Structure 1
């Protein structure tokens, strides 16, 4: 989370404790932060969450699989497979390594800087 978002969440909680409405809080944030203020929907959502008793300003930990497919180990595995057989397609490399073809494509073009794939 950016420092600016953290500051604005603190300000939302502060305005709530002072008894301001969500609309007043949004207007104050808009005035204070200029172009980089939170959207109206975000301000109202955080205002509601804080008014329901939440004290934490940081985001809750999210469940789900973290993005771990693009790492140095997979870069090496893809590079070795391509060096062994340059005729392999992106889809076949993905199947052999257990990676999505889009991940393999990103590794080849971005990380390994290969252009003719």
Structure 2
């Protein structure tokens, strides 16, 4: 808190104020957190659990911060993130270290030399290693489709 804010609070308490809460202000009151809007947020979230806060705000026509407040304070919801998600990385990721390590710290004279050495290294990797990689990747995709993208653990 800034020194000016501290002095302001001190003077208010010195003058007899007993609460740190703000006093009611004149002007238009907030309309974004009423029962109707809270019900709209609840309905949209229950219809589509994957709807983002941004999408909710746009759909209802209220500020992003108001949606956050409604979700957390009024509806008691919190953001949940799965501790595990299946490895859906492209199936050839395992290939990069197999190419990189043997070629590491080697200086090549030309691009053709790099291509020749990388191709020679690729040829040494057995076909069944590639097939196994694609089969494992396919199984992971099937599992995600089976569970319709929902959370699951283990194999």
TM-score (norm 2): 0.36
Rg larger in structure: 2
Tell me the TM-score normalised to structure 1 length.
0.47
More helix by share: 1
